[in-house]
Homo-oligomer: A and B are copies of this chain.
Amino acid sequence: MPKTEHWQWYAEEFAPTERHEHAVEELLAAGHSRFQQYAILRTPVFGKMLVLDGDTQSSQGDERIYHETLVHPALAALEQPHEVLILGGGEGATLREVLRHPGVERCTMVDIDGEVVELCKRLLPEWGAGAWDDPRARVIIGDALRFLHEDHDRYDAIISDLTEPLPDSPSWPLFNGAVFADVKARLRDGGVYVLQASTAAFHNMALHVKMARTLRAYFAHVRSYFAHVPAFDTAWAFLACSDAVDAGALDGERIARYVGRLRGENYFYDDETHRRIFSLPLYLRRALAEKGEVFS
């Protein structure tokens, strides 16, 4: 029989009728932690990829698109971010992006899955890029919800890099009014809460819209924005929330100055990219304007 060139595949299902298969060059790790199923693999097109519970979390090829988009609009919106809190963010790339800001004095990251964090440190060192050893980094392995309850510090920015609040997921209990009240209580005046917030593609935006709708009851400014992340196969959305500042209304010069202060070079984000990701297509604005269900 003919030799099968690619025998190993990673299949991601976006729906029972949509299945994207990536040939795997190498499976670097796979198993179950206490909390989730994980895999670290390498594909020809995307390089190394982290997969949790069958969902792509980030790829070497485009993780900077995701992580710059998650972190920088929120920090750019602040006069001066000193203290930052990350919920989740196990790969270490969110931490890396925060610590590229020289004004940040401490970045606390709370991730529940110590086993996945250790795997990422070892097998995905490009993601952390040294941030794990930055003296300003405080990495706590623990439950984000409990941390929010018990912690008494306050933060200029809280960045939620958790998985989606689907009914079965560990993130489900982290998406409700009680938690938002906890988040707000941990934010300094003028602080910003930003979260990855599902997809913005035409056929799959209901969860994002519901998240946005829900958060409007808690913050004066709730801004949707999104970028196409090829490894996710879709448009990925975020929400920037604050009582003080509208991240979507920042002017270009301010963003250029902000980006200029960062250590190293951006790949994706700057003032023009900011304009792109905060300018929403008509169909999404219409959906966001509709009344409907909220998380309780």
B20, A19: Cβ atoms closer than 8 Å = yes
What is the chain B residue whose CB lies nearest that of A169?
B3
Which residues of B sit under 8 angstroms from A26, Cβ to Cβ?
A: 30
Candidates B22, B27, B53, B269; contact of A17 at CB < 8 Å = B22
Contact of A45 among B7, B18, B46 (CB under 8 A): B18
State in angstroms the CA–CA spacing of A202 and B204 once bound together. 23
Per the 8 Å Cβ criterion, residues 254-285 of A in contact with B are 266-270, 272-273, 275-277, 279-283, 285
Q: Would you call A196 an interface residue if the criterion is a C-beta within 8 Å of the partner chain's C-beta atoms?
A: no
A5 touches B16 (CB 8 A): yes
**At the interface, yes or no: A239 with Cβ under 8 Å from chain B?**
no
Bound complex: CA A283 to CA B22 (Å)? 24
Judging by beta carbons under 8 Å apart, are A55 and B1 in contact?
Answer: yes
Residue of B13, B43, B202, B230 near A4 (CB, 8 A) is B13
Cross-chain contact B10 with A7 (CB below 8 angstroms): yes
- Pair A7/B267 contact, Cβ less than 8 Å: no
CA distance A279 to B269 in the complex (A): 11
B13 lies within 8 A of A23 (CB): no
Contact at A279–B285, with CB atoms within 8 Å?
Answer: no
- The answer to whether A275 and B272 have CB atoms under 8 Å apart is no
A17 touches B3 (CB 8 A): no
- Chain B contacts of A37 at CB under 8 A? 7
Shortest distance from the beta carbon of A237 to any chain B beta carbon, whole Å: 11
Asked if A246 is at the interface of the complex by the 8 Å CB criterion, the answer is no
**Cβ-defined contact, A62 with B268, below 8 A:** no
Query: Does A104 sit within 8 A of B, measured CB to CB?
Result: no
Can you list 16 residue pairs at the A/B interface with Cβ under 8 Å?
A3-B54, A7-B10, A7-B11, A9-B21, A14-B45, A15-B44, A17-B22, A18-B22, A18-B23, A19-B22, A21-B21, A45-B203, A228-B234, A230-B235, A272-B279, A276-B281
